[in-house]
Amino acid sequence: MAFYDGLIDALGLRGSCGDDGGGNLSMADLLAATGDDEAGKEFFPFPSLDNLNEACSNIAQSRDVTKGIENAFLGVKDSLKLVLDPITQPLSWLLDGSLWLFQAVPWFIMIPVLLYITWWVARSVGVTIFVALSLLGLAFIDHYDVTMQTLSIIFVCTGISILLGVPIGIAMSKNDRLQKSVIPILDLLQTLPSFVYLIPLIFLFSVTESKLYGIAIILYAIVPVIRLTDLGIRLVDKDVIEAADAFGMNSRQKLWGVQLPLALPNIMAGVNQTIMMSLAMVVIASLVSAPGLGVNVLRGIRNLELGVGIVAGIGIVLLAVILDRTSKAALDRVDMARKHN
């Protein structure tokens, strides 16, 4: 006899419970059926779904909950896919196109171009030399191709994160209600374990499509740029905004002439974080066929190839330092322009 029989009877629900034993057998039932009956029972079990189900078979079991979520997701999957597929298709093209471009350009053009970009954004001799040494070093141990793949994915995903994130941040800074409703979503995106992003995406899109990892990376990396754009605009000196109003600026002039330039150091800090987070995610995304250094790390784990994994890991660290130093140098440059001292 189940523990909660008495409770069900007392509440007068026996009639609605239907025939006893009609429900699905739980694992515990099967175990109990094989062993002796009362030995495994607790004295006062928690009134969980499974325990209640023993007393009344019309009460759902816990596995019905997970089943329900799965069914619900599969139920909306097709219609969701119908909407999301065409919207996100350009992402696949971008990622594939960029991958092709990064690999099609020969190294003796690509490396100088990258160095020139570094110089252009950072204006720092030290950083440029460091980037040069790192890239040449990686190429020397035949990691040039995977490095370029990773870099290409980061370029595309960070670019899209900035394109989407900055306007969202601006909208949040203008509207308190929007800010209140978006912040929990950002918290969720930031705390959700990065592996969990992949689960629904795998069901929605085929693993062979590059947008699968693209979306995962963007969702993970877009958070800081949104947060810091919002914060940066809110932190702009109220007196300066008042002066802009007092001289009759319209909201577009205020945004482009005052708010964005003064928020730029904060936005750049957000971009720096976004780059770092997309690098972190691009490694995990190798689980769903994202090419690059992450694949080698994965190989190191799967095949216990210690050396391969560690070299790829060091490559990722180097890339991280390159991207961080370059974007930080750019940030400093923006800040310096502000101080003029």
Segment 208 to 247, residues that bind other proteins, using CB under 8 A? 237, 239-240, 242-243, 245-247
For the CB of residue 180, give the shortest distance to other proteins in the complex, in Å.
17
Asked whether the beta carbons of 242 and 298 are under 8 A apart, the reply is: no
30-38, 159-167, 258-266, 323-331 -> range binding other proteins (CB under 8 A)? 258-266
Quick one: tokens of 194? 């990065």
- Return the number of other C-beta atoms located less than 10 Å from residue 207's C-beta: 12
Site string for other proteins, 261-280 (x = CB under 8 A): xx------------------
Beta strands in 8-125, from DSSP E residues, in sequence order? none
CA–CA distance, 15 with 325 (Å, rounded to integer): 71
Asked whether the beta carbons of 195 and 254 are under 8 A apart, the reply is: no
For the CB of residue 230, give the shortest distance to other proteins in the complex, in Å.
20
- DSSP character for 19? S
Contacts of 157 (CB under 8 A, 6+ apart): 214, 217, 218, 221, 278, 282
For the CB of residue 98, give the shortest distance to other proteins in the complex, in Å.
33
For the CB of residue 258, give the shortest distance to other proteins in the complex, in Å.
6
Number of helices and strands (H, E) in the chain? Answer: 15, 0
Q: How far lies 320's CA from each of 131, 200, 277, 324, in Å?
A: 11, 28, 10, 6
Q: Is 70 in the site for other proteins (CB under 8 A)?
A: no
Residues in contact with other proteins, counted by CB under 8 A, come to a total of 21
Quick one: tokens of 125? 């001799």
For the CB of residue 123, give the shortest distance to other proteins in the complex, in Å.
18
CB of 77 or CB of 333, closer to other proteins: 333
For the CB of residue 238, give the shortest distance to other proteins in the complex, in Å.
9
CA–CA distance, 174 with 164 (Å, rounded to integer): 16
Farthest CA pair distance, the chain: 86
21-29, 203-211, 317-325, 332-340 -> range binding other proteins (CB under 8 A)? 332-340
CB of 46 or CB of 247, closer to other proteins: 247
For the CB of residue 119, give the shortest distance to other proteins in the complex, in Å.
24
For the CB of residue 242, give the shortest distance to other proteins in the complex, in Å.
6
Among 6, 68, 90, 257, binds other proteins (CB under 8 A): 257
CB of 169 or CB of 265, closer to other proteins: 265
CA–CA distance, 341 with 254 (Å, rounded to integer): 26
Asked whether the beta carbons of 275 and 327 are under 8 A apart, the reply is: yes
CB of 38 or CB of 239, closer to other proteins: 239
CB of 216 or CB of 263, closer to other proteins: 263
Note the residues at the interface with other proteins (CB under 8 A): 237, 239-240, 242-243, 245-250, 253, 257-258, 261-262, 337-341
